[in-house]
Amino acid sequence: MGAADESETPSSRTDLGGEASREQAPTAAKHEAKPSTLHRAGTWLGWIAAILGVILCGSSIWVLNTFGQISFQQMIANIPGLGGEGAGADPAFIRSFIIEAVAIPLALLTGAALIYYTWVRRNPPKNFVARHSRFLAGTTSLVLFATGTFSASSAMGLPSYIRGIVTNTSISDYYKEPVITSTPDDPKNLVLIYLESMDDDFGSAEYMGEDLLASLHESTSNWDSLPNLTMSPYYGYTMGGVVTSQCGIPPKPAEGMVMTEAAPQANNGIGDGLATYMPGATCLGDVLKEAGYTNVYMGGAPESFASKGTFLNTHGFDTVLGYDHWKSIGETQFSGWGLSDQRLFENAKEEVRSLHDSASPFTLSMITLDNHAPIEDFGYCPDTTGSLEKNTVKCQSQIVADFIDYMDEEGILDDTMVVVMADHQAFTTAEIAEYKRSLSWTAQQQLPLFNAMWSPDGVELARTEGTQAHLYPTILEALGFGVEDHRAGMGVSLLIPESEVSDPTILNLSFDDLANLYNSSSTDLYKELWE
């Protein structure tokens, strides 16, 4: 019996031990299955990295498809939330960005994640992918984030921007505050017209099939022009062209790069949230205002676009008429960008007539927008080319030519200088700009902008090439102002041969050196200009 008891005891203990182990196993398994805090944090970080990665990838593709490669300066000045907020950006742009850069990438990521986790759950743990699912998911998230960061930085010119931060080159090495040595006894008026995205090659039958600028060429046939006027490297956007041509330097914030010290709740664009725009610079409007000119600006877009109104008000303009004004007087012909060019120039005829009838010299500055992508079909441009973009360029040429002819017929050109120029090149993504897509970035940057200059005294340009910075002293001298050393900002008057200009100037720089200069932070200069 005792033996029997002894023989049963081990068996009983074994059964009990096994039973106890079985009872404890589910509890242990349940404890092990519960995600740790570190695991949960890793999962969240992985999802955040993946989401940011696909959005950055989508954004870079959207930028390249919409604009082509842009500069970081251009993005800061124009992208909504970085200076473009409230700027009247076409709703189609915003919709396309939300769909193409955000919604589609997130949908693809969500779909891929669902397929992946469904497959992992249906496969036994012995499968390699299932056993290493966490590692593979984390690695995928990091790869997506790295790919998105690289593609976005390349599409938006971040590497070049960083090079500008670390370079020792500064615009201050070539900058000269304009010194006016004399003013004209009988001052001429000035009409300054910026054409949106207007390549000189749009007048080439070889590239366009016909001269799309035929009307402008006819109306300016006896004017002078610079055969190779180029936009400022890295500043191929409207305010880049406007500020450079009127101040002789590109627009940069006080820190020289990235952002200004904007007011609370303001966007971080150049000058956004500030009461003044580079107040330390002496620009074209400042000189003309000091000489007794009445300065008026007319444009179809909101004055808030890239702080354009702040710039003009800071630098001598008495009246700034934009989107809000046209709405207030009952204009109805608007696109997402602003008032149509047709209505802008009809209003401009009345304005220039009124200004000319006044006793004081005047400046009338305008910017077109019909050619700004995405293009609005207002219905007043006949389809003669089979392309909305070509029709629009051709129509814009006719509208501006009609305005020039009006001034000629009214006798306004008898005492008025007129400068017509592109604000910047057309984006390479535009159908009309297909001809330059095969060119390198350097070659694209050096393609000429449309320009034409008239003066009742004649305009004889002494050089054949230059950037928009040279227009500032050129306009002053053509109006009859004496400018010390023929220099203003970085610009050197185009009325003077290079041989007569004293160094240092940007005339001796190669394109690469000039591009590096424009891209430099130049904080030593811009901190002073913003004070």
Helix (H, G, I), strand (E, B) or coil at 146: helix
Query: Would you say 53 and 148 are in contact if contact means Cβ atoms under 8 Å apart?
Result: yes
Backbone angles phi, psi at 320, to 5 degrees: -125, 110
Backbone angles phi, psi at 288, to 5 degrees: -70, -40
How do the pLDDT tens digits run along the chain, 531 residues long?
444 444 444 444 444 344 444 444 444 444 444 567 776 777 788 888 888 888 888 887 877 776 666 666 666 555 544 444 333 455 666 777 788 888 888 888 888 888 877 776 666 655 555 556 667 777 888 888 888 777 777 776 666 666 666 778 999 999 999 999 999 999 999 999 999 999 999 999 999 999 999 999 999 999 999 999 999 887 888 999 999 999 999 998 887 654 333 333 333 367 777 899 999 999 999 999 999 999 999 999 999 888 899 999 999 999 999 999 999 999 999 998 999 999 999 999 999 999 999 989 999 999 999 999 889 999 999 999 999 999 999 999 999 999 999 999 999 999 999 999 999 999 887 899 989 988 887 898 999 999 999 999 999 999 999 999 999 999 999 999 999 999 999 999 999 999 999 889 999 999 989 988 998 889 999 999 999
Q: Say whether pTM exceeds 0.85.
A: no
Give the span between the Cα atoms of 173 and 194, in whole angstroms. Answer: 29
Give the residue extent of every domain in the chain: 37-156, 166-529
Give the span between the Cα atoms of 416 and 439, in whole angstroms. Answer: 39
Closest C-alpha to 197, from 312, 341, 360, 97:
341
CA distances to 74, 196, 312, 522 from 232, rounded to whole Å, are 12, 15, 20, 16
Compute, in degrees rounded to 10, the torsion defined by CA atoms 393, 456, 249, 509: 90
Range 166-529: architecture per CATH: 3-Layer(aba) Sandwich (3.40)
pLDDT, tens digit (0-9, with 9 covering 90-100), for 486-501: 999 999 999 999 999 9
Q: Residue 364 belongs to what H/E stretch?
A: strand 362-367
pLDDT, tens digit (0-9, with 9 covering 90-100), for 354-372: 999 998 999 999 999 999 9
Query: Would you say 63 and 70 are in contact if contact means Cβ atoms under 8 Å apart?
Result: yes
Backbone angles phi, psi at 96, to 5 degrees: -65, -35
Closest C-alpha to 487, from 174, 250, 229, 244:
174
Query: Would you say 285 and 247 are in contact if contact means Cβ atoms under 8 Å apart?
Result: no
